[in-house]
Structure 1
């Protein structure tokens, strides 16, 4: 039994708050998701979440120009310096004030950070050397009278612009210049949110929140014409060196050249970005609309609405083709190609909490249901949502797949159970009860023919036929809301758990529904059948997990889980976490595929794995270290407790945006509540499930869909190596035509070029014999190598012969251990599918070409016959 699961990926959340940034090559978007950072590879269509965690939700991130170093800063100003390629935290640093903006200089040597009304510039730590005090303060710049909002460097890294809530922008130089005093750009009537240099640094643009865009150029005293301005003022020229460019910017007397205003009614500018090479200005508004303007002419290229809520962050990639938008309220991340007017990426998480999840039988897809009434299906490999069903009108309480994996069922509080076709992506069945009830749980028969749902109103269990959609039966007997349902994997038994402290086992296809309930000491919250159907695990409100033998109907074991799941003190709790009895229970249970492990999660920051035979805890996982969530701290900070209560619960925000203060989520509210309360989400797990392969498990939590897996990507295996095993000795063995020995030696060395050389040296007639004699230890490596070779090599027949021989020789072994070889099968399948598609495409092209040539020859022959006839 393995328990070395590690954090693998975070799905279901694509953006929370802060700024999104593009990588140096423009192919990857980095987005803050709570206290973690996710990277979305737009070219390979993959996403991954870095394993490191900040103390609190991330407020700002910055990426170095070479994309090697990432700085993520949380709401309190505590920063992590991370090696991007390795995903390893190099250094911790505390800026001691909330950071609104952080930016690397274009040469990568400095980091500019907003520090309340000041700006600090730090020398960039060397990510290749371990240093004791890596962060070195270069200088602190003062002059603003209110909070600094944004920072922008000049192309030569000698100057930078800062903008502030005090309605001004200021120009600073990195190092002191004799006679230079910081320049102030004033005249705006609202907070200046961004300022930018043009590509030649002769122009500066400032954008304010009220939609004013000012163009600043060098002042000319005698004339206002552009030509005289350029003649009389020594502004930067394209032939300037890097040093003189900074001096020229500093010594220029800047003045307003032009004032432009964005005519957008009842809206404010929230964010902006500027692409220097193409002079393209992108502005995001509070209504979800964004626009593109070409500077300095200020000509509008196009305006588009991409969200129903305000756009929180915008970024443009280095080539200027793709725009990335983050919308905080909806949790949306969008990448838009503005020239072709098409989406490169469009992802959105659940608007409210994620309540339920289910793995598809092949383990490749995960379905989730949330309080927003949406059912989403995520691909575990790419991390992306590929279909969203929004037919439900209330919160989803449970989701489950049919055994074949092509049908997805969902139960909702709107009184319906729906069946979705995952081939045509449509809702093909809707099941309802005779009288309206709210469904709290769901179970699907192993054959996929019957679906059952339990109600929280009438305390009944309803059964429907999937084929006809008709109600088959109503099982009555519980005296409180039905909390959990599960079909036996092997028989016709249905188990139901209820808040009336009983578990009932129904024989749903028998004539009599008389059952003897299992009596428990507290309300039943969750239950699960062991994969062999002989045992059932039940969790109750008092924190116990009980095991019952289904055949004999007696209790076989009990686990006292209260202490295992306890932990985490909320901000308003009156007692310590160790003494608090509330919520210390499991509300979700799942067995592993072999039945040896039980995974349990509940209203806590912990998820626990138990050994079912001995009833002992194997491992405890903490789903989040995020201090922005309630219940992640064991002990509260006494300095934060005042007469008015905990400081964390006091709303001290100074939102100047009226729309941020208005609370209009209640139905029928027209004007809204101006005194919107502040609340903190609680760290909890709503649902846990093991993957069918057993290599991973997922948890629907406050943070999103957390996936933990066993990392099997060993880069170098030192076993079976001795001093005689060298590349030279391998080549000698290969020259002696001992192909199997050479192949085993190559796998032991684990060098791709050597494996490739040996593989292609094997004669075609020896493939079947070698496949039969290959040691089982190297079977997975061999299959993976052939699958990868299929994608790159032109030797199609050779690769197919190897695949055929390996599957024939070791088919039974692969079938018995399909879970272990799942990732290998996927690699092989991908290679074969790509090859099939390319071959079929080639055949179609050849068929079209041949048809064309035949038609042309026929036309030529007819023309020749006509000509001969005319001559005759």
Structure 2
């Protein structure tokens, strides 16, 4: 099995903090998700996450006007300049301070960045190979010092919150918390002096130029909108007035009257004069300037809106809310949602793949169950029936039925075709279920609780409690059914694992004794082996039939790593407290994947117990447990500096108000900053084995085999070339040409040779094919062709010949061919469904024609239809039976 899994996508999180940016064509939206950036394609309904990651959460992103360069800056001021289309990192740079605003100039030659009270303008680094020099040669090579500071502007007395460029890139506006906005020029202009726009009574959030640049709009936190124009003094004499008497003055004032709420974000689209404002109560408003006429007013959330962005045409509005992790794209003219996504705002607990592999289900402490599409990256449906945290989820092997267990004392079954909860299972007494297992047939579901020592078993058909398996002397922490349905395996904190034959006459079980509390149990795909993870970091493998231990490995050193701020021991010495909380087998059963309260996921070989790969989940220092060494300078007398509140008391009254209910707080009422810790509560392999997903603190991470390698040759010699392969194909030597194409391993060449084999020669080619080397590759090509090619009969002939000739090999080496056989099974199942739909439609048409009334000669009297199709069918069927003198009698 291949183990070269690489990070592919991030699901489960759509927005964390920072600003949202549209691409120039307005079809894609860039959203910061922790220390990464996710791109949402709003037209094709897809999303992908850029492969690079920052060391802390991203605070600001900016996209070059040409769409090539993407500049991202994290909370500590470290910047990464990347090529947006190629998804590669170009440069790393440190701005040495926290960034509050970042924007490229419309010309793209400079970008402005706000660092506290200062504003710095930098030259935009050149893109490698994107420009040409004067003599025609391509320039823009790699620069040794790509970031060059152009000019620095100082004048504000408090943090600069927003920067806005003029359309000609000569001037820019800055808005600050010091109640003023200022006008700056990029280069010294004759007769121009930096201008201060003062008059607001609270922090100025943003300032913009109008489309003709004759008007400036400023907006403040208290909801005051001022319109500025270059006017003379109202007291000046028009006849004796000089140029010095003209300056920027307030020509109009407007106010947003929002009680108990303040403005949190605003955006202005100059060509259409549309102003969008968001408030702390989840309300956003649209106004048309300069008349300040209200266009729309809508509440989209219960918490404040952090950022808003408008695309270039002014049609789509993007809103982000960090409190609930919401991302919305709204088309204000049609009043419809283009995109409406929300991630889990509490930590994930478990995940599972659907049997088809195109869906991933996640459950979290927020009581929600979400279904994610792996192809698009979007959430398809959210189930909110549970009233407390959902701890486990499991798919039935057949059908589209999902089972979940929750702390609210219920186990629920969801229909993923109609998207509804159709069954609820409860125990005789109130329990909080923490583990779940489903019989492969989908007829029995079992659940365990940390409050009770019994395993509860229900019938899915009737919803009745069938049995309570007693035997454990501690809370049941994990459950798993064998894939063949013969037995149920349970693990408990009493340091035992029990194997139950619940369908046999006797339900007694002998315990398998371990050395520590059992955390996770999983059964191999062939139902012959158990993998058990315990609290002491041990991973042991047991035989199901004999009840004896086969192998074991110590994973404490592998899973250890990462140190929390409050840890007194180093990361190397803290290994005794780390263990695997989740373990899963691959599709062929050759490897196991394990994760726990650590930043690492470990991939082990079952046969040898060797660590094959070690995947780092996150390098985000904003999370606890990601850094190996702590800086002793950050340790103060009051404790670690990262846990201290250095912001002080809020300056605004509404921010200081305590809105919690009386009596809801117990003990110490002091507020502290608590950083989430990195952990992996669940991992799962896809049914095809080409990918695996991990539920982590940052979201749902998907790792897949790198499909970008186009040329991966094997067993080549000097005579095997694309030209010689095509010559062999022209000589009609089908088998040799196919083997040569597989050796070169070029997808286009393999497809060409595969499609050129005549149908009559398929059986002979398959019979002479070296199965040990090429069977897996031929099956993969056939599965790909079946899934995407219209040559149905030819593909089915290939499948029939392969199964007939090499079926014994596929059966004897099930684990080796498990992945590719699942691909074939999935493709054939899709085709079967399509053919059944066509057959059913044809059957209904035949039944309809046979049910029509007939005349004395047996011909149809009339055909009732709404189009030409029914008339053509009936006419073709009875053309010979009717003479020229006969007429069709309509039923209209």
Please give the range of the TM-score, normalised by the shorter of the 2 chains: 0.7 to 0.9
C-alpha distance in 2 between matches for 1:662 and 1:693: 54
1:676 Cα deviation from its structure 2 partner: 3.2
The aligned residue for residue 819 of structure 1 is: 819
Q: 1:773 to 1:356 in 2, by over 3 A?
A: same
Deviations 1:42-69 (A, max 9, x none): 1111111111110101111111112211
In the other structure, the counterpart of 1:686 is 681
Which residue number corresponds to residue 176 of structure 1? 188
Structure 1 residue 555 corresponds to structure 2 residue 577 = no
CA distance in 2, matches of 1:831, 1:277: 51
**Structure 2 vs 1, CA of residues 661 and 305 (structure 1 numbering), >3 Å: closer, same or farther?**
same
Pairing 1:255-266 to 2, within 5 Å after superposition: 255-266=249-260
- Deviation of 1:32 after TM superposition, in Å, equals 0.6
Match of 1:138 in 2: 150
Per the TM alignment, residue 19 of structure 1 is displaced from its structure 2 partner at its CA by 0.7
Change (3 A) 1:13 1:538: same
Deviation at 1:509, TM superposition (A): 2.4
Match of 2:125 in 1: 125
Mapped contact 2:587–2:818 kept (Cα < 8 A): no
Query: Residue 214 of structure 1 corresponds to which residue in structure 2?
Result: 226
Per the TM alignment, residue 302 of structure 1 is displaced from its structure 2 partner at its CA by 0.7
Query: What are the within-5 Å matches in structure 2 for residues 359-370 of structure 1?
Result: 359-370=353-364
CA pair 544-70 structure 1, distance change in 2 beyond 3 A = same
1:42 aligns with: 42
Residue aligned with 1:820, SS: helix
Task: Give the 3-state SS of the residue equivalent to 1:580 in structure 2.
Answer: helix
Which position in structure 1 is the counterpart of 2:424?
430
- Aligned-residue RMSD, C-alpha: 3.7
Contact 1:362-1:405 at 8 Å conserved across structures: no
Structure 2 CA distance for aligned equivalents of residues 157 and 840 of structure 1: 65
Segment of structure 1 superposing worse, 50-59 or 730-739 = 730-739
1:714 CA displacement: 2.5
Distance 1:656 1:757, change over 3 A: farther
Partner residue in 1 for 2:407: 413
Q: Evaluate the alpha carbon distance shift between residue 772 and residue 272 of structure 1 in structure 2; reply closer, same or farther with a 3 A threshold.
A: farther
Q: Deviations over 1:706-748 (max 9, x none)?
A: 1111113323456659689577x89988999999999999999
Q: Look up the match of 2:54.
A: 54
Offset, 1:82: 1.1
Counterpart Cα distance in 1 of 2:786 and 2:245: 64
Note the alpha carbon deviations across 1:317-339, whole angstroms, 9 max, x for none: 11211111111000011111111
Cα distance change on mapping 1:822 and 1:52 into 2, 3 Å: farther
Shift, 1:89, TM fit? 1.2
1:610 deviation in Å? 1.1
1:444-463 equivalence runs, <5 A: 444-463=438-457
Indicate yes or no: 2:175 matched with 1:163: yes
Q: 1:837 to 1:751 in 2, by over 3 A?
A: farther
Match of 1:374 among 368, 379, 385: 368
Match of residue 76 from structure 2: 76
Contact 1:38 1:49 in 2 (8 A): yes
- Partner of 2:883 in structure 1? none
Q: Which residue of 2 aligns with 1:240?
A: none
Pick aligned residue for 2:197 from 165, 185, 192: 185
Match of 1:205 in 2: 217
The whole-number CA distance in structure 2 between the counterparts of 1:834 and 1:182 is: 69
The answer to whether the Cα contact below 8 Å between 1:274 and 1:280 also exists between their aligned partners in 2 is yes
Give the C-alpha shift of residue 431 in structure 1.
Answer: 0.4
Q: Map Cα deviations across residues 822-845 of structure 1 (whole Å, 9 max, x no partner).
A: 67887999999999999999x99x
- Aligned with 1:700 (options 670, 695, 701): 695
1:265 CA drift (Å): 2.1
Partner of 1:482: 476
Cα distance, 1:158 vs. partner? 1.3
The Cα of 1:666 is off from its aligned counterpart by 7.4
CA distance in 1: counterparts of 2:754 and 2:524, whole angstroms: 44
Mapped contact 2:710–2:747 kept (Cα < 8 A): no
Change (3 A) 1:752 1:365: closer
Select the residue among 594, 603, 613 that pairs with 2:607. Answer: 613
Give TM-score, length-normalised by structure 1: 0.86
Work out whether residues 691 and 697 of structure 1, in 8 Å CA contact, stay in contact via their aligned partners in 2: yes
Residue 611 (structure 1) shift: 1.2
**What are the within-5 Å matches in structure 2 for residues 340-739 of structure 1?**
340-581=334-575, 583-653=577-647, 655-656=650-651, 669=664, 675-717=670-712
Give 1:514 shift: 2.8
Question: In structure 2, how many angstroms separate the alpha carbons of the residues matched to 1:836 and 1:336?
Answer: 40
Deviations 1:78-121 (A, max 9, x none): 11111112221111111111001111111111111001101111
Corresponding position of 2:32: 32
The Cα of 1:516 is off from its aligned counterpart by: 2.1
Extract unaligned runs of 5+ from structure 1.
235-249, 791-795, 855-872
Unaligned runs of 5+ in 2: 129-140, 846-864, 873-892
3-state secondary structure, aligned to 2:573: coil
What pairs up with 1:107-118 in 2 under 5 angstroms?
107-118=107-118
Contact preservation (8 Å) 1:18, 1:60: yes
Q: Deviations over 1:134-153 (max 9, x none)?
A: 11101111111100101111
Does the aligned pair in 2 maintain the 1:169–1:206 contact within 8 Å?
yes
In structure 2, relative to structure 1, the CA distance for the partners of 1:490 and 1:659 (3 Å cut) is farther
Deviations 1:660-717 (CA, angstroms, capped at 9, x unpaired): 6666677974999985321010011111112221111111111111111111332345
Question: How far apart are the structure 2 equivalents of 1:61 and 1:773?
Answer: 56
Distance of aligned partners of 1:125 and 1:398 in 2 relative to their CA distance in 1, 3 Å threshold: same
The answer to which of 137-146 and 266-275 deviates more is 266-275
Aligned counterparts of 1:699 and 1:747: Cα–Cα separation in 2: 33
Question: Does the C-alpha gap of structure 1 residues 730 and 629 become closer, same or farther in structure 2, counting only changes over 3 Å?
Answer: same
Match of 1:320?
314
- Structure 1 residue aligned with 2:868: 850
The offset of 1:280, in angstroms, is 1.0
* Corresponding position of 1:280: 274
